[in-house]
Amino acid sequence: MKVVIIGGVAGGATAAARIRRLDEKAEIMVFEKSGFISYANCGLPYYIGGTIENEVDLTLQTPQSFYSRFRVDMRVYHEVISINPDSKTVTVKNLGTGEVFEESYDKLLISTGARPVKPPFDGIDSDRIFTLRTVEDTLKIKKYVTENKSKSAVIVGGGFIGIEVAENLHELGMNVTLVEAAQQLMSPFDSDMAAFIHAEIRKNGINLMLNTMVEGFADTESGINVKLKDKDTLNADMVVMAIGVAPDTALAKNAGLALGIKDSIVVNDRMETSHLDIYAVGDAVQIKNFVTDSDTLISLAGPANKQGRIAADNICGGDSRYTGGQGSSVIKIFDLTAASTGINERTAAQSGLAFDKVILSPMSHAGYYPGGKIMTMKVIFEKETYRILGAQIIGYDGVDKRIDVLAAAIRAGMKAYDLAELDLAYAPPYSSAKDPVNMAGYIIENIKNGVVKQWYYEDVDNLINDGGVTLLDARTQTEYSRGHIEGFINIPVDSLRERIGELDKNKPVYVMCQSGLRSYIASRILVGNGFDAYNFAGGFRFYDAVCNDKALNKKSTPCGMDD
């Protein structure tokens, strides 16, 4: 059997190694148009910033090492320029010599990945504008910054690459502006959770410009101008475009393969395309969202590696299936860690799902052990079934551990209230006896059993203007005096039983505290005394963060705040 693979990196290189492990006699050829067949995409920004010091560390395998281990014919600087399904051949150009030749195959695997999006703006072809997708891109940026002693940069796009490049250029001492057309960074997160990301970006001295459209570029003697819609033009030494990627599927399209979202390659759960003996994996393919079962694109290394393994199994006569992706991801943002899995509120609403959520602020480990830090956790679940739809966590320590537990829970089909039953490792330096994941489960269990009713950030404005309710802040008088929401009266939870007569039993009581715990206790006290009580999801800390972010974005005063 002769297998030809177009493209290396995550999907193609994984498939090549797996095919060899399954079939010692197979002839395997990989054509890669760049000079690198297996490299650490996700590490590229950190080489620019100097965290990864050695260029060699970016390369996971060389053609020589791959051949020595797996006897795979790895040909770099070879670009496949056409796929010919009828003759079962590919046409290849040797970029070094210019030679064009045909290579036959029994099985073909397409792993062409995605390409950075570059809109047709005026000046987009400037030598001062860069994208980041390959090792060559990284080396080009690094060389430019070093040789030109660049002092300023504009990053266009606030996704994974945009934020990581912004951070790493800032670490080099550069003045960095991050421009994003949307109202928030990091689209996998809901806007309320993204507020914490924005705060960290700003705290570290990056000029963050949200709701800002780029309209074009122009080279100047002093650098490059970035033209913005309805805002002053920016000038910088360089620009990095990071507004997203699109499937790189011109080969598949010209070969007549079925295409889907954004011209991605349509595959079944065996990673088979519409053409016999042609498979496709990675950022170039359309897959199923594991949570919604809808068609989607997920450009992450984890899914690409899994798909490469599955395609290899099936090429070798097996029957492996890809059950879809849920977009589990994590990113370092200076000292902050932000992670998500599954879908967010926006996607749940667009999918027509009836959902609820819990928001909590647990410590990363036992409070009595030094060094614990607060994280903000949001878990979204389906109302009737309590199926876990997604989760977002932002904090400093232990975020990656908890998101992985929740990602596994989604994959296992656990009910949201079953999170309370998980038997998770505990020692004071690492967790609490009630792990944050357990705590989310306890809250959801309470909701299911009618022990607690919630209200949310988006309800605040309506409630402030509703004279038929009581708004209660259960924090201490000192906390209340430092900042509270207008219209809330202050009765600390520890005084509530003695002062409960101050409240009108005929009015529902909407309770808030700093994190949600004391207000939950206050709610139970109120319910036990015949009141109709609702607990605020997230606490004043959460509310304050979201309001401050909105105020900065709109250049206005924080919503509903009274100092």
Residue 392 near residue 340, CB atoms below 8 Å: yes
So what's the pLDDT on residue 81?
A: 97
Q: How far apart are the first and last CA of the chain?
A: 74
Burial classification of residue 95, based on how many CB atoms lie within 10 Å of its CB (0-12 exposed, 13-18 middle, 19 or more buried): middle
Reported as a single tens digit per residue, the pLDDT across 26-78 is: 999 999 998 887 776 778 899 899 888 888 777 777 888 888 899 999 999 99
The Cβ of residue 125 has, within 10 Å, a number of other Cβ atoms equal to: 10
Mean residue pLDDT of the chain comes to: 94
Residue 403 near residue 330, CB atoms below 8 Å: yes
Q: Give 403's pLDDT tier (boundaries 50, 70, 90).
A: very high
Q: Which residues, at least 6 apart from 317, have a Cβ–Cβ distance to it below 8 Å?
A: none
Residue 70 near residue 20, CB atoms below 8 Å: yes
CA 409, CA 45: separation in Å to the nearest integer?
31
- Compute the average pLDDT of residues 187-205: 97
Q: Which residues, at least 6 apart from 121, have a Cβ–Cβ distance to it below 8 Å?
A: 214, 215, 216, 217
- Is residue 561 over pLDDT 80? no
Burial classification of residue 117, based on how many CB atoms lie within 10 Å of its CB (0-12 exposed, 13-18 middle, 19 or more buried): middle
Return the DSSP state at 281.
-
Q: Which residues, at least 6 apart from 397, have a Cβ–Cβ distance to it below 8 Å?
A: 337, 364, 365, 371, 372, 373, 375
pTM, rounded to two decimals: 0.94
The pair of three-digit structure tokens given for residue 458, joined into one six-digit string:
């988006």
Residue 38 near residue 9, CB atoms below 8 Å: yes
- Compute the average pLDDT of residues 266-293: 97
- Compute the average pLDDT of residues 131-135: 90
So what's the pLDDT on residue 363?
A: 92
| CA nearest to 400, candidates 314, 340, 343 | 340
Q: What is the CA radius of gyration of the chain?
A: 27
Q: Give 557's pLDDT tier (boundaries 50, 70, 90).
A: very low
Q: Helix, strand, coil: what percent of the chain each, to 5?
A: 35, 30, 40
CA 396, CA 334: separation in Å to the nearest integer?
10
- Compute the average pLDDT of residues 118-132: 95
Side-chain half-sphere CA neighbours of 11 within 13 A: 26
CA 368, CA 311: separation in Å to the nearest integer?
50
CA 157, CA 557: separation in Å to the nearest integer?
26
So what's the pLDDT on residue 562?
A: 58
Q: How far is CA 16 from CA 1, 133, 270, 318, 562, in A?
A: 13, 22, 16, 15, 62
Q: Which helix (H) or strand (E) holds 376?
A: strand 376-382
- Per-residue burial over 1-23, b = 16 or more CB atoms within 10 Å of its CB, e = otherwise: eebbbbbbbbbbbbbbbbbbeeb
What's phi and psi for 138, nearest 5 deg?
Answer: -60, -50
So what's the pLDDT on residue 254?
A: 97
SS3 156: strand
Reported as a single tens digit per residue, the pLDDT across 404-462 is: 999 999 999 999 999 999 999 999 999 999 999 999 999 999 999 999 999 999 999 99
Residue 386 pairs with which residues in a beta bridge? Answer: none
pLDDT > 70 in the chain, percent: 98
Reported as a single tens digit per residue, the pLDDT across 330-360 is: 999 999 999 999 999 999 999 999 999 999 9
The pair of three-digit structure tokens given for residue 499, joined into one six-digit string:
């002062």
Instruction: Just list the catalytic residues.
Output: 42
Q: Which residues, at least 6 apart from 356, have a Cβ–Cβ distance to it below 8 Å?
A: 380, 381, 383, 447, 454
Strand runs (DSSP E) across 141-189, as ranges? 152-156, 175-179
- Compute the average pLDDT of residues 516-530: 97
CA 8, CA 74: separation in Å to the nearest integer?
9
Residue 474 near residue 518, CB atoms below 8 Å: yes
The conformational region for residue 34 under phi > 0 = left, psi -120 to 50 = alpha, else beta, is: beta
- Is residue 8 over pLDDT 70? yes
So what's the pLDDT on residue 556?
A: 47
- Is residue 194 over pLDDT 90? yes
- Compute the average pLDDT of residues 270-276: 97
- Compute the average pLDDT of residues 169-191: 97
Reported as a single tens digit per residue, the pLDDT across 358-397 is: 999 999 998 889 999 999 999 999 999 999 999 999 999 9
So what's the pLDDT on residue 352?
A: 96
Contacts by 87-96, CB closer than 8 A, 24 or more apart: 88/277, 90/4, 90/6, 90/31, 92/31, 95/33
Return the DSSP state at 373.
-
Task: Give the dihedral sign, CA 528/531/534/536.
Answer: negative
CA 444, CA 150: separation in Å to the nearest integer?
51
- The mean-pLDDT minimum among 51-55, 193-197, 204-208, 500-504 falls in 51-55
- Is residue 521 over pLDDT 50? yes
